Amino acid sequence: MSLAQRDKAILWHPYTQMQTAPLPIGITRGEGALLFSEDGKTYLDAVSSWWVNIHGHAHPHIAQRVSQQLQTLEHVIFAGFTHEPAVQLAERLLRLLPSNQARVFYTDNGSTAVEVALKMVLQYWFNQGVEKTKIIAFEGSYHGDTFGAMSVSERSVFTRPFQQYLFDVEFLPVPVPGKEEQTLARLQELLQHEDIAAFIFEPLVLGTAGMVMYSPEVLNELLRLCRKQKVMTIADEVMTGFGRTGKRFAMDSLTEQPDVMCFSKGITGGTMALGVTTCTQEIYNAFLSQDKTKALFHGHSYTANPVACAASLASLDLVEAPEFLQNLERITASHAAFAQELAGKEGIKEVRQTGTILAVEFEVGETSYFHNLRDVLYNFSLENGVLLRPLGNIVYALPPYCITTEQLAQVYQTMEGMRQLIVARAF
């Protein structure tokens, strides 16, 4: 029996209607930007396998460092104990992050990194006896699938069954080009309320919303307003971190600094699950007390797993190598050239780009996630040997940085093919 058939009998996949989903594709091996399937096909992974695989698959340097760590220390409880990979990773991360970031808290994924960020800012105020309990988030945002993370994310058909358990959040329109003043005015209005604890945001690009983009200038303004009102700010860099926006971090494009930052996805180069939440000394200090109940009561069995930390350290070696920024520049320039070629063509509503993220929004009539178009485009990309996962009528490339010029051309060709399909209404 094939992997796909054995899977079909007993497994349950994420974001998948199991009754109607086609058989999953069994992958036996990965190398660079390529995935190899059990039926002998090759797929170009143009979405870095859900945005995690920044250096490509089975990178030998990461493999070697992980293997070494496995033979040294695979895990140790992180309450009352510590280890070299956890300490070294925190030291190296803080050197790369905005200068006000001072403390590192480990978890297992992006959602838990967000949960911890929310707990940090809410308890920061609680510990000081200040009644600030409201969170502000962007409309259309996505911060994860656990309950706190769902609460600060766009409410949709996906969250409807849990609606009554999600806490109240003030949603702010995204300041996309032309809408900046509207967002700034709305934030000023919200900040009149005394009970606002924090503002959480995906910096520069809202991923799951469909790669919705806005400028660093307006984000600077928003953060300045929050700082003036002593409202904490949380930069969720789970998707944007580690090169996506063309710089190491999206926040590197800003002059303002956030109070809290969240990381996961690219942090281990797509090798191991790991989440990181960092914060300022000021936030950390609010948890220091002779009173034990003022501590941050959050932890996971696998907190700071040494193998995950080692994978992340190996990934950081690659992130800090000179070729890293060169690759970002190469992909950014390549995307820009294609974006210019595509913009204005028939069937194209908008082409958006921030660094290595390229999004093409097709002009179609009625759109929704469940619209048949999404499946048509998805299947078309797979038939062309490229893995692209459209969000409705939006298709995006978020490639591993090792992707070659020829492979990028194959991605663009596939996108152009999609455009022709839509123009011809050939589905």
Ligand X SMILES: *Cc1c(COP(=O)(O)O)cnc(C)c1O
Task: Give the sign of the dihedral formed by CA 152, CA 155, CA 158, CA 159.
Answer: positive
Nearer to ligand X (CB atom), residue 144 or residue 216 = 144
Report the relative pairing of strands 34-37 and 212-213 from DSSP bridges. Answer: unpaired
Interaction of residue 197 with ligand X, rule CB under 6 A: no
* Beta strands in 324-402, from DSSP E residues, in sequence order: 348-354, 357-362, 386-387, 394-397
Which DSSP string do the residues of 208-222 spell out, in sequence order? TTTSEE--HHHHHHH
Helix (H, G, I), strand (E, B) or coil at 201: strand
With beta carbons less than 8 A apart as the criterion, state whether 204 and 245 touch: yes
Q: Which of 43, 78, 106, 142 binds ligand X (CB under 6 A)?
A: 142
Q: Which of 236, 256, 259, 361 binds ligand X (CB under 6 A)?
A: 236
Report the residue number whose CB is nearest to ligand X: 110
Span interacting with ligand X, options 58-66, 138-146, 159-167, 277-285, rule CB under 6 A: 138-146
Q: Which of 85, 148, 207, 269 binds ligand X (CB under 6 A)?
A: 207
Q: Which of 45, 202, 259, 361 binds ligand X (CB under 6 A)?
A: 202
Helix (H, G, I), strand (E, B) or coil at 389: coil
Report the amino acid identity of residue 349: K
| Active-site choice (45, 132, 134, 236) | 236
Nearer to ligand X (CB atom), residue 154 or residue 236 = 236
Interaction of residue 367 with ligand X, rule CB under 6 A: no
Binding to ligand X by CB under 6 A, coded x per residue (else -) over 312-351, reads ----------------------------------------
Q: With left for phi above 0 and alpha for psi between -120 and 50, is residue 351 left, alpha or beta?
A: beta
Of 44, 48, 31, 29, which Cα lies nearest the Cα of 400?
Answer: 48
Task: Give the sign of the dihedral formed by CA 196, CA 256, CA 202, CA 237.
Answer: negative
Token pair listed for 93: 């991360």
The terminus-to-terminus CA distance of the chain in angstroms comes to: 33
Q: Is 301 annotated as a binding residue?
A: yes
Q: Is 299 annotated as a binding residue?
A: yes
Give every CB contact of residue 287 below 8 A, 6+ residues apart in sequence: 123, 124, 127, 294, 295, 296
Nearer to ligand X (CB atom), residue 59 or residue 265 = 265
Give the number of residues in contact with ligand X, rule: CB under 6 A: 14
3-state SS of 316-345 is HHHHCCHHHHHHHHHHHHHHHHHHHHHCCC
265 catalytic per annotation: yes
Least separation in angstroms between CB 239 and ligand X: 4
Interaction of residue 223 with ligand X, rule CB under 6 A: no
Interaction of residue 239 with ligand X, rule CB under 6 A: yes
Q: Is 67 annotated as a binding residue?
A: no
Interaction of residue 154 with ligand X, rule CB under 6 A: no
15 catalytic per annotation: yes
43 catalytic per annotation: no
Interaction of residue 249 with ligand X, rule CB under 6 A: no
Instruction: Point out which residues pair with 166 in neighbouring strands.
Output: none
Nearer to ligand X (CB atom), residue 264 or residue 303 = 264
Pairwise CA distance, residues 232 & 130, whole Å? 13
Interaction of residue 114 with ligand X, rule CB under 6 A: yes
| Active-site choice (124, 247, 265, 396) | 265
Angle at CA of residue 219, ends 214 and 220, nearest 5°: 140
Nearer to ligand X (CB atom), residue 244 or residue 419 = 244
Place of tokens 């409705």: 392
Interaction of residue 264 with ligand X, rule CB under 6 A: yes
Interaction of residue 238 with ligand X, rule CB under 6 A: yes
Q: How many residues does the chain have?
A: 427
Nearer to ligand X (CB atom), residue 265 or residue 352 = 265
Backbone angles phi, psi at 401, to 5 degrees: -70, -10
Least separation in angstroms between CB 52 and ligand X: 8
Q: Which of 55, 65, 134, 143 binds ligand X (CB under 6 A)?
A: 143
142 catalytic per annotation: yes
Q: Where is the binding site, in residues? A: 50, 110-111, 142, 236, 265, 299-301, 389
Judged by the rule CB under 6 A, the positions of this chain that interact with ligand X are 109-111, 114, 142-144, 202, 207, 236, 238-239, 264-265
Q: Where is the binding site for substrate, in residues? A: 50, 142, 265, 299, 389
Known catalytic residues are: 15, 142, 236, 265
